[in-house]
């Protein structure tokens, strides 16, 4: 009897929590279709804020910046992080404590400390040498820095999960070092590489603080643009662009769900 009451109240609490988690996102989505520019009352349905987005050069260029930043940084991080992940695996019997500390540093450092140290560093280097002017370049550098550990750890754990004799079997079956990479290692860790790339991409798009401090005047990304718009005074256009970003996340979530379902089957 008592067990059933517990289960029922937990079910209620679950739905309440889900409402709590999705309410803010739902509100943003709802008001993006608001006919008036009131943020408090829904007066009718309209596409007008979305239409305005298309004409907004600033938003379009912020979107382009976000994409370039995410794709370039994830690609660089994938290569560099994959190498480290493999190195950590191959030499796991050595004393690599310093490397582990180095790898975890970007993960444990608070965003704000990460962002301002890079900013202070870039500003000074630029002042002294003329290199590293704050802009998309410095943002890419900063993003790669926090993506490397995630890629390295994902790749490393995939390698650790493999039977070590597979490496020997590849050698034994006449694969040269290059062929071992192409026909054995890369295909074997392909799932890890894909999820590492998507995680890096998500981290990059999701990041605000580090981008904010390492950005230059011309390199605003979508989150930075939205931040500025919020600070200036809320406009319903933000609802529209935010809704599009939420929709993108929802699509990614649906795809990942389908993938995990298929893997189970």
Partner 1 sequence: MSYAGVTPSARSRAMVRESRHLLFTVAPGAIWIIIFLVLPSAYLMGVAFMTNGPYGLPEMPLSLGSFERLAGFGFLGWSPGNLYTLLRSLWQTLVSTGLVVLVAYPIAYYISTCREKWRPIMLLLVVVPSWTNQVIRTFGWMNLLAPGTPLSSLAEGLGLIAPNMGLYPSNFAVTLGLVYNFLPFMVLPLYAAFEKLDTAQVEAAQDLYASPVRAFWHAVFPQTLPGLLAGVVLVAIPAFGMYVIPELLGGGKGMMLGNLVANQFSGGANWPLGAAGAILMLIATFIGLYAMRRIGKRLGGGEEVVI
Partner 2 sequence: MAFDATTSDAITTDSPPADSITADSTRTESKPMTDTLTLEAADISSTEVDEPTREASSIQMQGLHKRFGRNTVALDGVDLVIEAGEFFTLLGPSGCGKTTLLRILAGLEEADDGRLAIGGRDVTEVPPHQRSVNTVFQSYALFPHLSVRENLAFGLKMRGMPPEQREARVARIAEFIQLGDLVERRVDQLSGGQRQRIALARALVNEPDVLLLDEPLSALDAGLRSQLQVELLRVQKRLGMTFVFVTHDQDEAMVMSDRIAVLNGGVIQQVGPPREVYEHPANAFVARFMGHDNLYPINARDGDRLTTPLGVLSAEAAGEGDLLLIRPETLDLLPGEQPGDNRLPATVTERLYRGSHAEYRLEVGETTLQATLNNRGRRLPEVGDRVTVSVASEDLVTLSE
- Residue (11 or 157) nearer to partner 2, CB: 157
Binding status of residue 7 toward partner 1 by CB under 8 A:
yes
In the complex, minimum distance from the CB of residue 212 to partner 1, in angstroms, rounded to a whole number = 9
**Residue 133 contact among partner 2, partner 1, none, beta carbon within 5 to 8 Å by kind:** none
**Residue 24 contact among partner 2, partner 1, none, beta carbon within 5 to 8 Å by kind:** partner 1
Q: Can you tell me the distance from the alpha carbon of 45 to that of 34, in angstroms, rounded to the nearest whole number?
A: 5
In the complex, minimum distance from the CB of residue 217 to partner 1, in angstroms, rounded to a whole number = 13
Q: Can you tell me the distance from the alpha carbon of 146 to that of 204, in angstroms, rounded to the nearest whole number?
A: 9
Interface residues toward partner 2, by CB under 8 A = 162-163, 165-166, 168-176, 179, 183-184, 187-188, 190
**Residues 6+ away with beta carbon under 8 Å from 106:** 114, 145, 146, 148, 149
Span between the terminal Cα atoms of the chain, in Å: 37
Query: By CB under 8 A, what part of segment 27-86 binds partner 1?
Result: 27-28, 31, 39-41, 80-81, 83-84, 86
- Residue (51 or 124) nearer to partner 1, CB: 124
Query: By CB under 8 A, what part of segment 213-232 binds partner 1?
Result: 213, 222-223, 226-227, 230
Helix axes 97-108, 57-90, angle to 10 degrees: 160
**Residue 192 contact among partner 2, partner 1, none, beta carbon within 5 to 8 Å by kind:** none
Q: Tell me if residue 101 falls in helix, strand or coil.
A: helix
Q: Can you tell me the distance from the alpha carbon of 161 to that of 71, in angstroms, rounded to the nearest whole number?
A: 28
**Residues 6+ away with beta carbon under 8 Å from 30:** 42
Phi, psi torsion values for 38, nearest 5 degrees? -70, 140
**Residues 6+ away with beta carbon under 8 Å from 75:** 197
Binding status of residue 258 toward partner 1 by CB under 8 A:
no
- Would you give the binding string for partner 1 spanning residues 120-149, x where CB under 8 A is met? xx--x----------------xx-xx--x-
Binding status of residue 25 toward partner 1 by CB under 8 A:
yes
In the complex, minimum distance from the CB of residue 166 to partner 2, in angstroms, rounded to a whole number = 5
């Amino acid at each position: 009897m008592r067990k059933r009451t517990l289960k029922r109240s937990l079910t209620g609490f679950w739905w309440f929590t889900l409402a709590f988690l999705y309410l803010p996102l739902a509100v943003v989505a709802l008001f993006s279709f608001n006919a008036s520019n009131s943020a408090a009352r829904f007066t009718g349905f309209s596409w007008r804020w979305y239409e305005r987005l298309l004409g907004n050069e600033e938003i379009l260029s912020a979107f382009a910046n976000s994409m370039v930043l995410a794709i370039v940084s994830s690609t660089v991080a994938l290569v560099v992080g994959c190498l480290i992940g493999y190195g950590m695996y191959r030499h796991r019997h050595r004393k690599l404590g310093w490397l582990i500390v180095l790898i975890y540093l970007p993960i444990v450092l608070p965003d704000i400390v990460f962002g301002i140290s890079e900013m202070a560093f870039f500003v000074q280097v630029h002042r002294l040498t003329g290199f590293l002017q704050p802009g998309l370049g410095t943002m890419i550098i900063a993003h790669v820095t926090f993506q490397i550990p995630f890629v390295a750890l994902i790749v490393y754990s995939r390698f650790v999960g493999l039977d070590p004799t597979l490496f020997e079997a590849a050698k034994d079956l006449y694969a040269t070092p290059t062929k071992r990479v192409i026909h054995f290692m890369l295909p074997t860790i392909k799932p890890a590489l894909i999820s590492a790339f998507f995680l890096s991409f998500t981290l990059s798009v999701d990041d605000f603080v580090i981008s904010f401090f390492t950005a230059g005047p011309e390199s605003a990304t979508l989150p930075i643009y939205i931040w500025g718009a919020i600070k200036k005074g809320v406009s319903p256009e933000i609802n529209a662009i935010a809704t599009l970003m939420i929709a993108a996340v929802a699509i990614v979530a649906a795809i990942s769900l389908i993938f995990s379902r298929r893997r189970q089957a």
